[in-house]
Each structure stands twice: as C-alpha cells, then as structure tokens.
C-alpha cells in the first residue's frame, strides 16, 4: 500500500456542504479514520459525530490529522489547500472540479514548497482497500491484494477495479490522479512509490488521449520500474479533431493520440490491454511470471 492506511488521520474541508456531508458518511462507513471537519462559522457543531472546526489549524492542533480531503467550490479551492498546507497537512486530496488552472498551478507550487503531496484536482481520490477510502470512490468494488492502480479516469478506475476484483485479483492501493492538465502527483511519482511498495506486485496504469504524460511515463518505466506494468488507454475510438473527456484530453500537433501512447507502451516494455476487460487477464498472466531482475 502507498500513501494511506487505516492509521491515516483525515479531516474533511467543506464537511457541512452537500457533497462533503454525503461522502464523509460513506468514508466513515468504509472505516476511514475521519477525525474532524472544517467549515468556517460552523465550529463546535458535529457532522456524523465528527467534530467541526472553524479552521484547519484548529482541527490539526486538536486531532493531529495529516491528510485533508477537500470538498469546496472551485474558487475557494486554492485558499482551502493553502490553509491546509499552512496548518501542517502533508497529503491533500482535492476532489473539486472546475478549478481555474492558474489557481491549481499556484497550489501545486505551494505543495512542492512545503514538501507535501497533492492528489487531484478533479479526481475521485485514493483507496487502500479494507483500510482507508479518501474521496468519492465506490468502496464496495475494491478488495485488498497485490495490484497497484494509477489512473486519470475515475469511471475507468471503477470499471477495471471491479473486473480485477471479480477475477479474484485484489488491489494494494488505487489512485485517481484526475484528468486536468495541471495537477499534483503524476504517473512517475506514483509508479516509483508502487515499485518500492512490498505489497504491490503488479502495476496497472490507466491513461487517455491528450497530452504526453503516458509517453513520458512509459520511458520512465523502462529505466526505473522492474515490476510488470499493464497499460490501458481510453479514447482509442475518438474521432479525429474531436475533444473528449477531461480538460487534459486534448490532442494537438499530432501528439497525444491513442496510437502514439500505445506505441510508447509497447516500445518501453509495458504490457498493453486493448480493452478494460483485458486488463485483468494481463494482470493474472503477469503475476504468474517471475519479476524482472
């Protein structure tokens, strides 16, 4: 497992809002260690028996939380993230979508300056099955096991995780990075974490058309990752010139096509699955084979 486990203390920024309240309930039911929430002006109240604080600093001082999951409107996300960093939070899980790109860029810079980590924005979050669910992932489809997953797409994460689970292949940790062009943790950083994680034996990387992140990750895998990696690219049937999916799923100058990503995977030793259902078959085969020396 990477980044989170059953001991991770989590606060919820925006806990009294509609989304924050609903998903706090689901996270608690899953077993996530939610220790507090933050909504300015609502300090002293409770939400699902979780104490609410006016500021992140108050919440951290009282609970010793190290992770914050953020459910606030787009134009408040930068302030919410910076407040959490200033209070000593080391892992931000930013669910909010529609954040102005300049705000995201500013937050990413602050995260790096503080030596913290950011998942998102515009993402489903992270789950270490059976231990901690932080975000909006449907916990019931995941099970504990040896497969690490990193994905740009939330719904494809769910589809492939379910296929793995139904095939008896559990997951160590699954992360949805989000599909915005500017974001926190990228493929390389997460691939490195999985490479050094004893609980992960195989890595599944789910990408999509647009940008060059998958090609860059493929080159990184060839040089640095010894564990088998199975890659899938969404958008293989996208009509030429049509934008689909996330803000980052934009093809320009002939780059970022499904073909170029699949070719990069194959050229750098990544096993390619052409359909979501094929991922589980590739994982099962990889687990039977000895690891690279």
Q: Just list the catalytic residues.
A: 246
Which residues on adjacent β-strands are paired with residue 214? none
Whole-angstrom Cα Rg for the chain: 19
- DSSP one-letter string for 251-283: -BTTBS-HHHHHHHHHHTTPEE-SSHHHHHHHH
Cβ(242)–Cβ(230) below 8 Å: no
Long-range contact set of residues 237-241: C-beta below 8 Å, sequence gap at least 24: 238/209
**How many residues does this entry show for the chain?**
293
How many Cβ atoms sit within 10 Å of the Cβ of residue 288?
Answer: 6
Q: What is the DSSP letter of 228?
A: -
Provide the pairing of β-strand 171-176 with 125-128: antiparallel
List alpha helices for 130-247, DSSP H: 154-166, 187-195, 213-224
List alpha helices for 64-182, DSSP H: 77-86, 101-114, 154-166
């Amino acid at each position: 497992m990477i980044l989170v486990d059953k001991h991770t203390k989590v606060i919820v920024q925006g806990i009294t809002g509609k989304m924050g309240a609903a998903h706090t309930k689901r996270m608690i039911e899953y077993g996530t260690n939610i220790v507090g929430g933050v909504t300015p002006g609502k300090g002293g109240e409770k939400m699902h028996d979780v104490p609410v604080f006016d500021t992140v600093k108050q919440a951290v001082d009282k609970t010793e939380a190290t992770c914050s999951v953020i459910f606030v409107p787009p134009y408040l996300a930068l302030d919410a993230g910076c407040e959490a960093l200033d209070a000593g939070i080391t892992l931000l899980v930013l669910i909010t979508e529609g954040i102005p790109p300049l705000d995201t860029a500013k937050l990413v810079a602050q995260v790096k300056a503080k030596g913290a980590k950011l998942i998102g924005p515009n993402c489903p979050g992270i789950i270490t099955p059976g231990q901690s669910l932080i975000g909006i992932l449907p916990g019931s489809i995941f099970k504990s096991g040896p497969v690490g997953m990193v994905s740009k797409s939330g719904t494809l994460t769910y589809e492939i995780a379910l296929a793995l689970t139904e095939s008896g292949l559990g997951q160590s940790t699954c992360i949805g990075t989000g599909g915005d062009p500017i974001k926190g943790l990228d493929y390389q950083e997460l691939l490195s974490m999985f490479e050094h994680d004893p609980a992960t034996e195989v890595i599944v990387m789910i990408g999509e058309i647009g940008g060059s992140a998958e090609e860059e990750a493929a080159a990184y895998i060839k040089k640095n990752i010894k564990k088998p990696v199975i890659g899938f690219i969404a958008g293989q049937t996208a009509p030429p010139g049509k934008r689909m999916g996330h803000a980052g799923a934009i093809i320009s100058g002939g780059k970022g096509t499904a073909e170029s990503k699949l070719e990069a995977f194959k050229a750098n030793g990544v096993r390619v699955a052409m359909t979501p259902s094929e991922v589980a078959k590739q994982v099962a085969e990889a687990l039977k084979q000895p690891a690279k020396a």
